[in-house]
Structure 1
Amino acid sequence: MYVGMIMRALNTLPGQDDSEKLVTNQKLIEELNATVDSLKNELSEKTNRIEELCRLANDFRDDTDRIKTELFKLQENHMLLIQAYQLKENELESYRRLLEMHGIWQNENPIVNQQQEPMVNATPVAGELPPIAEALSPLQQQQQYPHEDGTMAHQRTLEESFRNDLNV
């Protein structure tokens, strides 16, 4: 298209006088100027679009960086939660061993009193120990505390303190 206009400007018709050539060339120059203006506008639009895409790319990069930072924080929190869980699991295991030492916890077996009352399951449920009061039947509690001499009272105080720790 542009080549055709330039060729017409250079190859004006033979027999045209200079004024006609001048008018023809002015028309061609106006067409070329209009084309140049159109191309400038198109270039400006494309440039604006490229700048917009660059801003979007920068925003995307910033968002990606924020997401990476948040993900890193979540991973750190996850690790802290795992460590806290492991500490609680170790603490729970210590309590279980202490209960086993006192004959309250019997390795996944229910505690049954001598009268064959309904069994109380002493196994942990969802990672928790059963309260000691539920684990001991009334008869076992009576057998464990037959009288209140100094040693038994002290043992009972320790066990009540332990019970309170478990119920917290």
Structure 2
Amino acid sequence: MTTYLFPNSVKPWAWLILILGVIGGILATAFEFEPELFEMKVLSLYSTDDFFVQNNGFFKWMEQNIFDDICGVFIIIGGVLLGFSREKIEDEFIMQLRLSSLALAVYVNYGILLLAFLLIHGLDFFTVMIYNMFTLLLIFILIFQIKLKTAKDGR
């Protein structure tokens, strides 16, 4: 049963949202791109200015550039919609491809994470963990699309 899948009609929008999020994320991280348009006050569940400052606390308003946050939201929404949308013809074979792609993506993602634990240290590891929030979903989409293309070419 495929009741948990989104309709096939969301796929073009999912691709657009995902691609915008990935491009924006690359611009934000690689080039420290933070357009002033996205500078605003946001409510923070918990905020720390510094370890020794008394201004730390719960539910604080703070000035923040939310461009990278928006990019992350786009990657998650676009990725989930894309990864879990029905194909035009959704049958048991496609469901098996989706399941095996998800399982393989989990193995690959945690293999990469295991290598990061062993080989990357300090603040660079924190950067790896930030990227790791998105890699499982992106690896799943990549594997599923490759398997789907290969299966369609083989039919």
Normalising by the smaller structure, the TM-score range is under 0.3
Task: Tell me the TM-score normalized by structure 2.
Answer: 0.24
Query: TM-score scaled to structure 1, two decimals?
Result: 0.22
Q: Which is richer in helix?
A: 1
Higher-Rg member (1/2) = 1
